């Protein structure tokens, strides 16, 4: 891979623009439209062999399965990418898989296509999450440490704005199908899934064009062995770094909570509070628009008080969100809760990415393997969070108990984050430009 010029404006914009492209999946498929669509057009109880699942728990287990697959694949692939210099190649590959899978959801109309829809959703999730390890690993290579927070927040901001634009257009097709010559709102949603795939793949081309080129090395079987060796090496190095170890443990628990909220919030609102499709989308729009300011608010707060204090503050807000949702029975209160979710959603993800970059050894340029290891932690956290949510839901037939279980994941994450001693996550004297 060619060495990029640090803090180059065009390179930074190209990197951040990938969030604009792939956040269409994150908003439309994982949060706003598809979860409610799945809940509405599939049977309330689904039989698989001798087992029965509620459709909401099946959806949760589908998310878990997706992240099990990618957790198994990403260490190997990122190790190969780092050794062979093919970071961009794998970024392109996962983007193609994810975008085509999103487009395939157009053919998912209901129960007859249940397993087609579920499989396409799983592949879209694998494509999205698989691309992120390569995307995130570019950050320490294109900017200096004093800009991690700002550039990371810029990526999330691009993602929020771009995905909201597409969501509003899809909302119009669902609510006013006659404006587009469509017969019903379901068709508008299905066309929306198709558009997500085109949006993701199309806008990603700008990132592919301007990011540093891969090294031109032929693939060989010994790269597989080296991929495993690099990941094992990263694991051994992290094991002997107490602050990184504590950070990743904290990251595991609070990510399990927050990502499960993001994936299951609209199903909770639809099933427990009776939200209609239009209300769900309004809920997500509130969440997304608040998140734009939230990411920058907590980035600025972190630059004044340190990343550790900022993340601890957001974890406590997340914990309060879970307890509040458990006791909520009216839509107005849930809209307020959604605003708080937006406030901390982008900020905690952005600062987590930046904080991990800060904790990495400055002289070690093997960033992909480090990010691959953190990515495995992240993927397994989602497996754990969504599985716990689905299991509690399936046992109790009450999603409120599932939400309450998430609060304890956040509290555990708070404990480990509190015990990090590194001054790198405290107040900093350098400029935050």
Q: What is the pLDDT of residues 169-186, one digit of tens each?
A: 998 999 889 999 998 879
Residue 300 CA to residue 354 CA, distance in Å, equals 13
Residues 26-60 pLDDT 10s: 889 988 899 989 988 999 888 877 788 889 999 99
Instruction: Assess if residue 71 is contained within a domain.
Output: yes
Instruction: Assess if residue 1 is contained within a domain.
Output: no
Task: Provide the pLDDT confidence category of residue 227 given band limits of 50, 70 and 90.
Answer: low
Instruction: Assess if residue 68 is contained within a domain.
Output: yes
Q: CATH code at 332?
A: 1.20.1250.20
Task: Provide the pLDDT confidence category of residue 376 given band limits of 50, 70 and 90.
Answer: confident
Domain housing 103: 9-212+221-425
- DSSP symbol at 426: S
Instruction: Assess if residue 431 is contained within a domain.
Output: no
Report yes or no: 314 and 302 within 8 Å, Cβ to Cβ: no
Write out the H or E segment, with its range, that includes residue 219.
none
Residue 298 CA to residue 333 CA, distance in Å, equals 24
For tokens 């999330």, what's the residue?
Answer: 156
Determine the pLDDT at residue 190.
Answer: 95
**Which burial class, exposed, middle or buried, applies to 304 when counting CB atoms under 10 A from its CB (0-12, 13-18, 19+)?**
exposed
Report yes or no: 142 and 15 within 8 Å, Cβ to Cβ: yes
Determine the pLDDT at residue 431.
Answer: 39
Report yes or no: 214 and 1 within 8 Å, Cβ to Cβ: yes
Instruction: Assess if residue 433 is contained within a domain.
Output: no
Domains held by the chain: number? 1
**Which burial class, exposed, middle or buried, applies to 7 when counting CB atoms under 10 A from its CB (0-12, 13-18, 19+)?**
middle
In this structure, the chain runs to a length of 433
Report yes or no: 61 and 125 within 8 Å, Cβ to Cβ: no
Instruction: Assess if residue 275 is contained within a domain.
Output: yes
Of 257, 289, 283, which is closest to residue 270 (Cα–Cα)? 283
Instruction: Assess if residue 362 is contained within a domain.
Output: yes
Instruction: Assess if residue 176 is contained within a domain.
Output: yes
Determine the pLDDT at residue 206.
Answer: 95
The pLDDT mean for the chain works out to 86
Using DSSP's 3-state secondary structure scheme, residue 261 falls into helix
């Amino acid at each position: 891979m060619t060495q990029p010029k640090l803090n180059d404006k065009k390179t930074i914009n190209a990197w951040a623009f990938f969030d604009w492209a792939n956040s269409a999946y994150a908003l439309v498929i994982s949060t706003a439209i598809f979860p409610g669509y799945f809940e509405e057009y599939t049977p309330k109880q689904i039989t698989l062999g001798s087992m029965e699942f509620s459709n909401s728990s099946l959806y949760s287990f589908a998310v878990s399965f997706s992240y099990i697959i990618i957790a198994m694949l990403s260490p190997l692939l990122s190790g190969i990418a780092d050794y062979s210099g093919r970071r961009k190649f794998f970024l392109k590959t996962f983007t193609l898989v994810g975008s085509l899978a999103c487009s395939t959801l157009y053919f998912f109309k209901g129960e007859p296509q249940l397993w087609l829809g579920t499989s396409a959703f799983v592949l879209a999730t694998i494509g999205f999450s698989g691309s992120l390890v390569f995307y995130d690993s570019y950050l320490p290579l294109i900017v200096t440490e004093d800009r991690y927070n700002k550039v990371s927040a810029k990526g999330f901001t691009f993602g929020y704005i771009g995905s909201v634009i597409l969501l509003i257009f899809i909302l119009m097709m669902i609510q006013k199908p006659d404006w587009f010559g469509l017969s019903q709102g379901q068709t508008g949603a299905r066309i929306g899934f198709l558009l997500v795939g085109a949006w993701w793949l199309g806008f990603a081309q700008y990132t592919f064009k301007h990011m540093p080129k891969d090294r031109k090395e032929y693939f060989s079987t010994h790269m597989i062995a080296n991929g495993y060796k690099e990941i094992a090496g990263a694991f051994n190095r992290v094991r002997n770094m107490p602050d990184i170890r504590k950070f990743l443990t904290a990251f595991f628990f609070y990510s399990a909570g927050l990502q499960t909220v993001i994936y299951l919030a609209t199903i909770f609102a639809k099933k427990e509070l009776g939200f209609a499709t239009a209300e769900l989308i309004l809920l997500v729009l509130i969440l997304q628009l608040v998140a734009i300011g939230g990411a920058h608010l907590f980035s600025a707060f972190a630059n004044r008080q340190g990343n550790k204090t900022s993340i601890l503050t957001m974890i406590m807000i997340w914990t309060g969100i879970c307890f509040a949702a458990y006791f909520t029975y009216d839509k107005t209160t849930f809209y307020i809760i959604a605003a708080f979710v937006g406030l901390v959603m982008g900020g905690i993800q952005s600062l987590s990415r930046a904080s991990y970059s800060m904790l990495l050894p400055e002289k070690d340029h093997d960033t992909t393997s480090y990010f691959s290891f953190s990515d495995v932690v992240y993927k397994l956290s989602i497996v754990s969070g969504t599985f716990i949510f689905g299991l509690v839901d399936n046992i109790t037939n009450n999603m409120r108990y599932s939400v309450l279980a998430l609060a304890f994941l956040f509290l555990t994450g708070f404990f480990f984050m509190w015990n990090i001693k590194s001054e790198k996550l405290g107040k900093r004297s350098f400029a935050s430009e």
